[in-house]
Amino acid sequence: MNLASSWRPKRFSDVRGNRAVVKLLINTMKQDPVDMPHTFLLSGPPGTGKTTLARIMASKLKCHDLNFREMNVADNKGIDFVRKVNREARIPPLVGAAVVYLFDEAHQFTGAAKDALLKLIEDTPPHAYFIFATTEPTKVIPTIRSRCMKLQTELLNDSDMTSVLEDVLEVVDPEGKIEIDERVLDKLIEVSNGTPRNLVNNLQKVLSVPNRKDQLELLKDCDSEAQVIDLCRAAFKGEDWQEIMVLYKQVKDNQGGGDIAETVRRSILGYCRSVLLSPNTNRRFAEKVVDVIDLFSSNTFDGGEAQLLAMLFNSGR
Ligand SMILES: Nc1ncnc2c1ncn2[C@@H]1O[C@H](COP(=O)(O)OP(=O)(O)OP(=O)(O)O)[C@@H](O)[C@H]1O
Ligand SMILES: [Mg+2]
């Protein structure tokens, strides 16, 4: 069983953390359908509940599973795609009351597609709802942004992460047979960096090994921040490319979902920032890091992972 894909809260009350957005949504979904907004901008870090919330919204809007359409804009950026959606969205649902479109990575729509999209959301069919999900809300054009109800998910604090852990354990182990050491539980929360998806994935790994020692050992490899640091050090030093790729793949595995190239790029910039802020950084290394920041400063929307890899490669030269 893959926990991360099978565990998903089905009700607003099961979504942990994110109190403001959940409260807003509960109130919004109570509204009369005529007053209901039809376009939403759902932003927040990867793995914090955007798809989860969109699915719960869809069920509140009486959208049948068949009519919940999740699409990744990274794969469908162009105007033809938007035109197709425009045609399809006009057809009323045969089952249920609504058709819900979830556009993942909505910041990636191209120029012409954005214009077509604007027409669509200015004149939405009464049964159609559009949810734009993104980790980069500022990159969504203002004309679209201003027409959406804004919803933001956030990283969870430790106590909310603990609740997620308890919820998931209750599902995998309803009789409470599995015992996990306190220290392992603490470490699980720590290395998951406020991201429920990471927590669920890491829990699954922990459950695959029997004893505390092995579990703690395994969790060392799940610390995504530590991994980004290892990757940056190796890349900036221009180590052997194969070695850099091993570290890169670890980072990638632990990001789990979303726009991987962008998430990794931002993690690298985050590391650079912490190096510059650190009192222990000498001038030479700071100069190197400033060059690296320059290299990593443009987004990877067009070039994707290939562009990110080129940036990494160049950072070692
Ligand atoms: N706030 C939360 N409370 C409980 N579980 C959560 C929460 N957020 C995420 N999860 C769990 O984490 C996993 C990933 O969540 P989800 O798919 O909603 O993330 P996302 O924000 O859509 O990520 P991405 O940016 O990659 O699309 C799912 O298994 C989900 O059940
Ligand atoms: Mg998602």
- 52 with 166, same domain? no
Domain harbouring 99, CATH code = 3.40.50.300
Judged against a pLDDT cut of 70, whether residue 79 lies above it is answered with yes
Last residue of a domain, one of 220, 241, 269: 220
- 126 with 32, same domain? yes
Torsion of CA 140, 263, 20, 54, to 10 degrees: 70
Q: Tell whether 29 is covered by a domain.
A: yes
Beta-bridge partner residues of 42: 133, 151
Q: Can you state the angle between helices 283-295 and 224-237, rounded to 10 degrees? A: 100
Which pLDDT tens digit goes with each residue over 40-77? 999 999 899 999 999 999 999 999 999 999 999 988 88
CB 4 less than 6 A from any atom of ligand 1: yes
In the sheet with 128-134, reading across from the earlier edge strand, the strands are 68-72, 99-104, 128-134, 39-43, 149-152
Q: Which ligand is nearest to the Cα of residue 165, counting in written order?
A: 1
- 52 with 148, same domain? yes
- 148 with 165, same domain? no
- 243 with 282, same domain? yes
Ligand 1: residue whose CA is nearest its atom 19: 47
What is the pLDDT at residue 114?
87
Q: How far is the CA of 76 from the centre of ligand 2 (A)?
A: 16
Judged against a pLDDT cut of 80, whether residue 1 lies above it is answered with no
What is the chain's mean pLDDT, rounded? 92
Question: Is the pLDDT higher at 3 or at 196?
Answer: 196
CB 200 less than 6 A from any atom of ligand 1: yes
- 240 with 197, same domain? no
Domain range for residue 187? 158-220
CB 265 less than 6 A from any atom of ligand 1: no
Last residue of a domain, one of 152, 174, 205: 152
Give the residue-averaged pLDDT of 159-164. Answer: 97
Q: How far is the CA of 255 from the centre of ligand 2 (A)?
A: 13
Which pLDDT tens digit goes with each residue over 103-157? 999 988 888 888 888 988 998 999 999 999 998 888 888 889 999 999 999 999 9
What is the pLDDT at residue 256?
62
The stretches of 47-177 forming alpha helices (DSSP H) are 50-60, 79-89, 111-122, 142-145, 158-172
Q: What amino acid is encoded at 259 in this protein?
A: D
Listed in sequence order, the residues at least 6 apart from 88 whose beta carbon sits closer than 8 Å to its beta carbon are none
Q: Which residues of 298-315 are buried (b: 16+ CB within 10 A; e: fewer)?
A: ebbbeeeeebbbebbeeb
Q: Tell whether 289 is covered by a domain.
A: yes
Last residue of a domain, one of 196, 220, 244: 220
Q: Tell whether 11 is covered by a domain.
A: no
Domain harbouring 183, CATH code = 1.10.8
CB 9 less than 6 A from any atom of ligand 1: yes
What is the pLDDT at residue 257?
63
- 266 with 232, same domain? yes
What is the pLDDT at residue 142?
87
Judged against a pLDDT cut of 80, whether residue 5 lies above it is answered with no
Q: How far is the CA of 4 from the centre of ligand 2 (A)?
A: 12
271's tokens: 């590391």
Local structure of 44: helix, strand or coil: coil
CB 48 less than 6 A from any atom of ligand 1: yes
- 79 with 187, same domain? no
| φ, ψ at 230 (rounded to 5°) | -60, -45
Judged against a pLDDT cut of 80, whether residue 213 lies above it is answered with yes
**How many structural domains are present in the chain?**
3
Ligand 1: residue whose CA is nearest its atom 7: 49
Q: How confident is the model at residue 253 (pLDDT cuts 50, 70, 90)?
A: confident
Q: How far is the CA of 196 from the centre of ligand 1 (A)?
A: 6
Q: How far is the CA of 75 from the centre of ligand 2 (A)?
A: 14
Q: Which ligand is nearest to the Cα of residue 167, counting in written order?
A: 1
84-88, 249-253, 287-291: least confidently modelled range: 249-253
Specify the ligand 1 atom closest to the Cα of 156: 1
The CA distance from 137 to 18, in Å, is 17
Give the residue-averaged pLDDT of 277-296. Answer: 94
CB 49 less than 6 A from any atom of ligand 1: yes
